[in-house]
């Protein structure tokens, strides 16, 4: 689909759908709506009155124009209460237009850029395009591809002077979506096909970044004992340690390390999961997928910071050589870990990846991991948990999440629970004594491997995978945090 910004009068354009936004609240002037309404002999206003059309967010109504306009149909898209309006409203509107366009097999769609009465047109255009494209995503690796009916989507801004800025915003939305698509594809691919090697290959394919992949022998040489403890469970699919580096053209303002959990399948190991809990465990590399998704577009986003992505990729399986509960491992930073539960494997792989990243002395460390079921209990399926040692960095991430619609909620890195991780015979144990506060104790465990570096930890166990369709996010891997991290990088 070609997306272009057209400053000709939208009334003169022939198309299958002409989309126009409508707020619930009166008093938001929309000249687009009024002009269309007039040409349709007030049919829109009458229809809304008669049928009591509620302009709830993403509620739509399709009206055929029967020759009164060049457009074959007009689509009214609800924008809800103007008091509650934000970019998320526009994303949902974009998704609603896409759904309708697909349903009536539209070839050409024209739409106004909704929300411009309340926010800058380029921001609105970006959100509208994101909403459409994110909603359009299908995972088609194992089924016959269905071609998209829409060939062309024309965005009509009110004024021509913003055209260049809007075009830039559209391109940005397309780039961001591409990163999200890659992330979703990696997560949706079953674990048999998306094993550590496949993940390493996905990283190797990236453009515009320097890559380095370490194999088992190299990982042993590096003494990543915690990571290796987990990897021992999979002789069939050996581990890889993946690095990706982006360097801006000008001197980097800051250096940021982003570490993604890359457990390509989490059976639990000998502390094996029950069948139901294992069903979606191909998703346990969603943190790694987000990092790869981000690194796949970073050279086009051109942030002013240096970005390094790190992934300790492994499966967590059972095997004659697999680690056993009670084993003691020595992490890269020298700390010893008593493994009491092999299902708390994410923190073991992350420990070495964090310690490795920290040795390079970055200004910030951000890690992203499907780390704890407790985070699902605490925050449900749609909120990412955030913990860390630097409030400013966490506040920044939370603010970026508010912009992108990816909700982030902070939990405390509670001093009081530190003793929960004390072992009698090693520096640490990999699970807390108490079954409560699992997201917090997991983060406290990770804290041992970041030194004094400013650090934020994102627990995406909930929002990385959705069992049901969400507004602009089809069921499956969601690609969560790709856009938020991209937003963060752009703000330095
Ligand atoms: N990968 C899981 C966490 C998870 C659970 C992600 C559900 C997505 C959905 C992690 O490795 C794990 O199993 N964590 C255990 C830790 C426990 C043994 C301390 C958990 O959360 O139950
Ligand atoms: Zn686990
Ligand atoms: Zn896991």
DSSP 191-260: TTTS-HHHHHHHHHT-SSSEEEEE-HHHHHHTT-HHHHHHHTT-SSS--EEEEEEE--SSPPS-EEEEEE
**What kind and span of H or E run contains 362?**
none
Indicate the pTM of the whole model.
0.97
**Per-residue pLDDT at 9:** 80
**Per-residue pLDDT at 12:** 86
Using 70 as the pLDDT threshold, list the residues of the chain that sit under it: none
**Per-residue pLDDT at 51:** 78
Q: Are 202 and 187 in contact (CB under 8 A)?
A: no
Identify the nearest ligand to the CA of 276 by its number.
Answer: 1
Considering only CA atoms, which residue is closest to atom 17 of ligand 1? 344
Q: Are 133 and 177 in contact (CB under 8 A)?
A: yes
Identify the nearest ligand to the CA of 371 by its number.
Answer: 1
CA of 233 to the centre of ligand 2 (A): 13
273 catalytic? Reply is yes
Q: Is 52 helix (H, G, I), strand (E, B) or coil?
A: coil
What are the C-alpha distances in Å from 379 to residues 374, 407, 446, 465? 8, 10, 20, 14
Phi first, then psi: give them for residue 284, nearest 5 degrees: -75, 5
d(CA 279, CA 413): 30
What is the best residue among 323, 373, 428 to mutate for testing ligand 1's pocket, by most ligand atoms within 8 Å of CB?
373
**Please, which residues bridge with residue 256 across strands?**
307, 364
**Per-residue pLDDT at 158:** 76
**Per-residue pLDDT at 10:** 84
**Per-residue pLDDT at 254:** 98
43 catalytic? Reply is no
Active-site position among 72, 232, 347, 407: 347
Query: Which of 86, 150, 146 lies closest to 118 in space, CA to CA?
Result: 86
Active-site position among 70, 168, 273, 330: 273
Q: What is the DSSP letter of 321?
A: T
Q: What are 390's two structure tokens?
A: 């630097």
What are the C-alpha distances in Å from 373 to residues 299, 428, 429, 433, 475? 34, 21, 18, 16, 19
Q: Is 428 helix (H, G, I), strand (E, B) or coil?
A: strand
Considering only CA atoms, which residue is closest to atom 8 of ligand 1? 461
């Amino acid at each position: 689909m070609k997306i272009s910004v057209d400053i000709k009068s939208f009334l003169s354009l022939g198309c299958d759908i002409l989309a126009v936004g409508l707020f619930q609240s009166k008093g938001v002037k929309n000249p687009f709506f009024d002009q269309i309404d007039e040409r349709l002999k007030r049919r829109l206003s009458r229809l809304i009155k008669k049928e009591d059309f509620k302009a709830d967010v993403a509620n739509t109504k399709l009206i055929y124009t029967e020759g009164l306009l060049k457009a074959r149909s007009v689509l009214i898209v609800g924008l809800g209460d103007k008091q509650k309006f934000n970019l998320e409203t526009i994303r949902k509107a974009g998704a609603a237009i896409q759904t309708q366009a697909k349903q009536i097999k539209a070839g050409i769609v024209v739409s106004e850029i909704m929300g411009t009465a309340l926010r800058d047109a380029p921001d609105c255009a970006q959100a509208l395009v994101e909403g459409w494209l994110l909603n359009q995503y299908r995972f088609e690796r194992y089924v016959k591809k269905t071609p998209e009916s829409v060939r062309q989507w024309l965005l009509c801004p009110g004024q021509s002077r913003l055209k260049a800025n809007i075009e830039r915003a559209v391109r940005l939305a397309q780039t961001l979506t591409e990163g999200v698509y890659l992330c979703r594809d990696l997560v949706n691919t079953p674990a048999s096909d998306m094993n550590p090697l496949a993940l390493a290959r996905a990283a190797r394919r990236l453009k515009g970044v320097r890559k380095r992949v370490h194999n088992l022998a190299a990982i042993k040489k590096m003494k990543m004992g915690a990571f290796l403890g987990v990897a021992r469970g999979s002789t069939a699919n050996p581990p890889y340690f993946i690095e990706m580096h982006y360097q801006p053209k000008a001197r980097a303002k800051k250096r940021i390390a982003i570490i993604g959990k890359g457990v390509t399948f989490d059976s639990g190991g000998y502390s094996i999961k029950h069948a139901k809990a294992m069903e979606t465990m191909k998703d346990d590399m969603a943190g790694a997928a987000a990092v790869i998704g981000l690194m796949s577009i970073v050279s086009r986003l051109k942030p002013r910071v240096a970005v390094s992505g790190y992934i300790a990729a492994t499966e967590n399986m059972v095997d004659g050589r697999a680690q056993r509960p009670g084993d003691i491992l020595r992490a890269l930073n020298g700390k010893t870990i008593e493994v009491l539960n092999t299902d708390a494997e994410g923190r073991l792989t992350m420990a070495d990846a964090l310690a490795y990243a920290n040795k390079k002395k970055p200004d910030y460390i951000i890690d992203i991991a499907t780390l704890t079921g407790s985070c699902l209990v605490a925050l449900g399926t749609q909120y990412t948990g955030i913990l860390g040692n630097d409030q400013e960095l966490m506040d920044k991430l939370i603010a970026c999440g508010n912009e992108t619609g990816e909700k982030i909620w902070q939990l405390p890195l509670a001093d009081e629970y530190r003793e929960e991780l004390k072992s009698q015979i090693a520096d640490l144990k990999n699970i807390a004594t108490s079954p409560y506060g699992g997201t917090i104790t997991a983060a406290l465990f990770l804290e041992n491997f970041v030194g004094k570096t400013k650090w934020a930890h994102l627990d995406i166990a909930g929002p990385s995978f959705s069992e049901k369709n969400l507004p602009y996010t089809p069921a499956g891997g969601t690609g969560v945090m790709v856009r938020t991290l991209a937003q963060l990088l752009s703000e330095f």
